[in-house]
Structure 1
Amino acid sequence: MNLKKYTDFSLRVLILAGMKTEQELTTIKEISTVYHISQEHLRKVVHNLTKLGLIESIRGRHGGLRLAKPAEEINIGQLVRTLEDDFVLLECFDKETNHCVISPACTLKHALNQALMAFFQVLDTYTLKDLIHNEQALRKLMGI
């Protein structure tokens, strides 16, 4: 399973924004510089995170971005479910397109489904706050 770059970028935006105070806003330019991601990609990500109510955009000369809710209220499992739209790990996960002849007797799909559920059970135990608990080390690596 591979998460989309869009999900990866969204998580990175939230991590950086989560390390800032309300007075210490971040910007798309800063995020782009820190992570070496194009500003155009980030604009789309930030727009979506704003629509989801996770990021607040402050306009004006001293504007920027900040979290729209506390980091401990942003659940990582729920966020990944929201951002990802395809958890079809095998053909047999999609009943409409499944043509696998062994599907009725195959236990692989059950094993992978259990693994997928375990993946989300683990992610559900994490919040954004958990991802930034080592803020000093992250700041050093980011150069901020």
Structure 2
Amino acid sequence: MRLTQRTDYTLRVLMYCAACEGRAKLPTVSEIAEAHGISRSHLMKIVMDLAGLGWLETTRGRGGGLRLLKAPGSLSLGEIVRQTETDMDMVECFDKHLNTCRLDGFCRLKGIVKKASRGFIEALNAYTVADLLEPTAAARGFKGQLPHLIPLEKHEKKTGALS
């Protein structure tokens, strides 16, 4: 299973907004795009979709930005993937309109892959956006600072200065 770039960027937006919770200045599309090296216009489409799903609030103008409408612990990774992946058809025979396989109905591959796909989503359902923000073992052992990964105000608190 491979997630699309759209799902990857969706997760990045949700994680970034979750990491910025409590920050005085809301994160913006431009800030997230710059932090991740992603096209601002591409990210804008994703943000609008997230707002349409009721997961994100967008505020325009001075002092505006993005804010999660749901707690990071309530945003299931399985639900995010289901909402953002447009084609979960792993093999041709999943789509009755495109299927030209002559073995359809005689082959067990379709059932096996469907079961594996369900297992993939079920495994993701066990995790939330909040889980993605927990430090990994490698990060816990890192002695230096990763300022480019820390939202601005949290970095200021840790270092006592802007860098």
Regarding TM over 0.5, the answer is yes
Counterpart for residue 117 of structure 1 = 118
Moved more, 95-104 or 7-16: 95-104
Match of 1:102, SS?
Answer: coil
Match of 1:11, SS?
Answer: helix
**The structure with more radius of gyration:** 2
Q: Please report the TM-score for the alignment, with normalisation by the length of structure 2.
A: 0.79
CA distance in 1, matches of 2:100, 2:47: 39
Match of 2:103, SS?
Answer: coil
* Aligned residue pairs, count: 142
CA distance in 2, matches of 1:126, 1:63: 30
Offset of 1:3 from its aligned partner? Answer: 2.1
Match of 2:57, SS?
Answer: strand
After superposition, the C-alpha distances for 1:63-111 in whole angstroms (9 at most, x for unaligned) are: 2111111111111101111111211111111123222111222112222
Offset of 1:45 from its aligned partner? Answer: 0.9
CA distance in 2, matches of 1:99, 1:17: 44
CA distance in 2, matches of 1:125, 1:26: 27
Match of 1:48, SS?
Answer: helix
Off by >6 Å, runs of 4+ in structure 1: none
Q: Please report the TM-score for the alignment, with normalisation by the length of structure 1.
A: 0.88
Unaligned runs of 5+ in 2: 140-144, 152-163
After superposition, the C-alpha distances for 1:32-83 in whole angstroms (9 at most, x for unaligned) are: 1110001111111111111111111133312211111111111110111111
Q: Is the 8 A contact 2:25 2:63 kept in 1?
A: no
Counterpart for residue 106 of structure 1 = 107
Q: Is the 8 A contact 1:7 1:80 kept in 2?
A: yes
Q: Is the 8 A contact 1:49 1:55 kept in 2?
A: yes
Unaligned runs of 5+ in 1: none
Offset of 1:143 from its aligned partner? Answer: 5.0
Q: Is the 8 A contact 1:34 1:143 kept in 2?
A: no
CA distance in 2, matches of 1:24, 1:62: 7
Q: Kindly report the root-mean-square deviation, in angstroms, between the aligned alpha carbons of the 2 structures.
A: 1.9
Q: Is the 8 A contact 2:26 2:65 kept in 1?
A: yes
Would you say 1:21 and 2:21 are equivalent positions? yes
Overall identity of the aligned pairs, in %: 38
Question: Letter of the aligned partner of 1:61 in structure 2?
Answer: R
Counterpart for residue 67 of structure 2 = 66
CA distance in 2, matches of 1:7, 1:99: 29
CA distance in 2, matches of 1:126, 1:101: 39
